[in-house]
Amino acid sequence: MKTPNASSSVVRQFWLSNRQLLIVDSTVLVFCWGLSWTLGFEGLGWLTLWREPATNHLIISVPLWLTISATFGLYRRSWVSASVEDLENLI
């Protein structure tokens, strides 16, 4: 019996599902949010003085951005097979 080798097997494309894209976007947004606060205050000093406003900003801004992205359909498309028309629909 002959076993298939790597060259004869079907090549699967790796791509994230829409739910995974949402999770990745959420993680990146929170990371960028913290980085922007840290760079804006030139260090981590904002953690003590600005903790409450920063938390309020995080609680409002990240869900708002994700809601806007979902409203415009960024998580409804399969971006592997997206066309220029799909991109024009977003714009």
pLDDT tens for each residue of 55-83: 999 999 999 998 998 888 777 766 666 67
3-state secondary structure of 51: helix
Residues 77 and 68: beta-carbon distance below 8 Å: no
In one-letter notation, the amino acid at residue 21 is L
pLDDT at 15: 65
CA dist., res. 33 & res. 61, Å (int): 9
Q: What percent of the chain has pLDDT over 90?
A: 33
pTM over 0.75: no
Q: What is the four-CA torsion angle of 23, 28, 31, 33, rounded to 10 degrees?
A: -110
